[in-house]
Amino acid sequence: MVNLLDFDVDSLTAWFAQQGEKPFRARQLSRWMHRFGVDDFGQMTDVAKSLRAKLADLAEIRGPQPLRDNTAADGTRKWLLDMGNGNAVETVFIPETNRGTLCISSQVGCALECSFCSTGKQGFNRNLTTAEIIGQLWHANRMLGAVRQPGVDDSGERVVSNVVLMGMGEPLANFDNMTAALRLMLDDHAYGLSRRRVTVSTAGLVPAMDRLRDSVPVALAVSLHAATDALRDELVPINRKYPLRELMAACRRYLEKAPRDFITFEYVLLAGINDSDADAHAVLQLTRTIPCKFNLIPFNPFPGSGYRRPSPERVRRFQELLINADVVATVRKTRGDDIDAACGQLAGQVKDRTRRHAAQVGTARPLTRQSLPITLEVNA
């Protein structure tokens, strides 16, 4: 049976055409599914009864099933969502005074093996489907009481006003399913979010960054974490395929069509690894030709990581050096760490097809600066 959450409006229009139905039915169903959060065709009161009966035989609206629902002391809420066959992903809602941000996962696990990320330690199983990606937003709206009501003015501020694809997985490695979900987030018949309020985070898959720019250019965040190829090769292994010079060039290209006039660089601060004054100066040199802001993230510890969180003084000093160079630099406030919902802590449940987790047990060792060359490569 077809899950209609798997279709963006264009593909849903094509599906209805195959059923001999008119194009407006896709817009109609999208509003009921996404704007109103309805999963029962019988409740779709402006849809002909004959079509409702037909849909009940042909299709379903099936969102993810929650295995756990935890709320932190600061109001952060995390759902563990069942993806079948012993797999589950985590989705996090972060409420703030002037916005509500939903952090969405794109894969079961992650294949990129970033050394400081809990998800990366779990190995990789598979890509999420479009229904499983958009289903996280669909589920969150229902659980937060944020679905719109038919016939009621819905022009007010949304409970989920921002979406970031920064959960489990590398979004650009699941490009087609991820971009179909993005189109639903942006579509006025579905969630109607602004391109400026939807952010895709990537570790640096350069060809896919160019594809995103040309297809669904939303806000972009790049996981940087180092200013030299030597260090970034260790922290973010995809750098060995797409080194910093190529990554910086892709960032400049992306800005040609981006909804924001800057790239956000995410930078996890690891004590004694990438948090020195010299590291800050190298970062400034690397990014000097790219309009950008920095989101500094003090490392959130997890068992077996081998890394330490820098002192507050060191974090402030790193931030100060960037700000003194007229670069916007914010320190991400740790939210939900009492329920392991903070940045880098999402692990979920992964039946690891790569067998990486088993290979890593008992072998983790901390990276030390002494093991790396100290020469700096800068962006020309």
CA 295/CA 359 separation, integer angstroms: 32
Instruction: Write down the residue that tokens 């180092």 correspond to.
Output: 226
Number of neighbours of residue 152 by Cβ within 10 angstroms: 8
Q: Position 366: which residue type?
A: P
Taking CA atoms, 139 is separated from 21, 39, 101, 193, in Å, by: 28, 11, 14, 16
Six-digit token pair at 122? 């779990």
Total residue count of the chain as it appears in this document: 380
Distance separating alpha carbons of residues 380 and 378, to the nearest angstrom: 6
**How crowded is the C-beta side of 24, counted as CA atoms within 13 Å?**
3
The residues annotated with a catalytic role in the active site are 90, 343
CA distances from 300 to 129, 221, 346 (A): 29, 19, 11
Residue 129 contacts residue 5 (beta carbons within 8 Å): no
Cα(62)–Cα(6) distance, integer angstroms: 9
Residue 335 corresponds to which tokens in the numbers above? Answer: 């939210």
C-beta separation of 269 from 298 below 8 A: yes
Please give the Cα distance from 246 to 241 (Å, whole number): 9
Residue holding tokens 């992306």? 254
CA distances from 165 to 61, 136, 263, 288, 370 (A): 22, 11, 15, 26, 34
Torsion, Cα 176 178 179 185, to 10 degrees, reads 150
Dig out the tokens for 170 from the structure.
């590398």
